[in-house]
Amino acid sequence: MNSTEAFISSFDLGKHGTGVYYFASENLGQIGYALLPMIARGVMLGPDQPVIIHMLDIEPAAEALNGVKMELIDAAFPLLKDVVATTDVVEACQGVNIAVMVGGFPRKEGMERKDVLSNNVSIYKAQASALEQHAAPDCKVLVVANPANTNALILKEFAPSIPEKNITCLTRLDHNRALGQISEKLNVHVSDVRNVIIWGNHSSTQYPDINHASVKTTNGEESVRDAIANDNWLNTEFITTVQQRGATIIKARKLSSALSAASAACDHIRDWVLGTPKGTWVSMGVYSDGSYGIQPGIIYSFPVTCEKGQWSIVNGLKIDELSREKMDATAKELMEEKTLAYSCLIDD
């Protein structure tokens, strides 16, 4: 088992750029390995934010973990004030304000969904306990490891003192993939496209929605649907391309999409902490409060804006019939995952 969790920690925007702060992340997994230099270079929290990175891995990986620590030191990142490499979850979690959970038990050939969830329930119960006892009271958590939404829900259940708004999962990767597909289709820079939405689960049932997205063109800003003028593509190929992008990359690369996932994790935390640009929203897996008719009690991806370290669901968007059907389908899958995960808790 290629293990792992990741934690990140402590910063104070009131002292932005003046203190030493703490992070933690998986080392040996590809996502963690790609993420570490991004954090150390300020991609996640800005170019003037000092950091201390805490890395956690399992005992058999301790020597390799120390090798990664040596690499981080050798890179001489100006923002990197210290590195803690440990196999002790208590040491890894101590005082952290941001936790990036990039490790979990992957699905292997012949495994049923319940087997995967059962293994991840055990992992995330343990990590939740360590975070609750040793992380800072304001700890922000981002779960990357799949099944990300349900792993985040399990963590929430076993870390009740961490505010539910502080536990999220990564759908920013899917959001960025949707932006990329639109920018390629229109031959515009990706920064000219905004306000796509990923609804629901970080799985093949997710719903990439462009009905409220816009793009800057030579004719000014217009809706993505009008600019592309191809409803058939938008309602079929675009959606399935985004839904299946991870599997497509694995087929082409023979490895998972670690670089883009690490970049999306940085985007997620950066916008959460530093805020989203005015007039722009992003997609985050968050604890449902019943918005848009989605059942409370699941971690579901919504469009959100962020300000002063807090996210808020964008409300009042018109939902058409196709969108309603797809939003409900991915919510149904999440409810099934929740039921399955809770049955694993009973068996545990």
* Residue 11 lies inside a defined structural domain of this protein: no
| Residue 142, phi then psi, degrees to nearest 5 | -120, 120
Final residue in a domain of this structure, among 144, 169, 194: 169
> Catalytic residue at 202?
yes
Give the pLDDT confidence score for residue 24 in this predicted structure: 54
Residue 301: CATH number of its domain: 3.90.110.10
Q: Assess whether 213 and 164 both reside in one domain.
A: no
Q: For 71-128, write each residue's pLDDT tens digit.
A: 999 999 999 999 999 999 899 999 888 899 987 776 665 656 667 777 888 888 888 9
Mean pLDDT of the chain: 88
Q: For 145-176, write each residue's pLDDT tens digit.
A: 888 999 999 999 999 999 999 999 999 999 99
Q: Assess whether 179 and 314 both reside in one domain.
A: yes
Q: Assess whether 216 and 125 both reside in one domain.
A: no
Q: Assess whether 139 and 208 both reside in one domain.
A: no
Q: Assess whether 42 and 145 both reside in one domain.
A: yes
pLDDT category at 332 given cuts 50, 70, 90 is very high
How much is the average pLDDT of 226-252?
A: 95
**CB atoms < 10 A from the CB of 337, how many?**
21
Q: Assess whether 149 and 180 both reside in one domain.
A: no
DSSP run (H or E) holding 286:
strand 282-287
> Which residues are part of a known binding site?
57, 107, 113, 120, 144-146, 177
Which token pair is 37?
A: 């230099």
Q: Assess whether 184 and 94 both reside in one domain.
A: no
Contact 307, 175 (CB under 8 A): no
Pick the closest to residue 249 from 101, 102, 30 (CA basis): 30
Which token pair is 63?
A: 């020597």
Final residue in a domain of this structure, among 140, 169, 198: 169
pTM above 0.85, yes or no: yes
Which residues, 6+ apart, have CB-to-CB distance to 148 below 8 Å?
A: 169, 170, 171, 202, 285
> Which residues are part of a known binding site for NAD(+)?
57, 120, 144-146
Q: Assess whether 191 and 289 both reside in one domain.
A: yes
How much is the average pLDDT of 274-303?
A: 97
Domain with 299 in it: 172-338
Quote the CA–CA distance of 254 and 274 in Å, as a whole number: 35
Q: Assess whether 161 and 179 both reside in one domain.
A: no
Q: Assess whether 303 and 332 both reside in one domain.
A: yes
> Which residues are part of a known binding site for substrate?
107, 113, 146, 177
* Domain count along the chain: 2
Tokens 């934010």 locate to: 49
Pick the closest to residue 263 from 11, 30, 31 (CA basis): 31
Final residue in a domain of this structure, among 118, 143, 169: 169
* Residue 13 lies inside a defined structural domain of this protein: no
* Residue 272 lies inside a defined structural domain of this protein: yes
Of 54, 175, 202, 268, which one is the catalytic site residue?
A: 202
Tell me which amino acid residue 289 is.
D
Q: For 3-13, write each residue's pLDDT tens digit.
A: 223 344 333 33
DSSP run (H or E) holding 313:
strand 310-313
SS3 92: helix
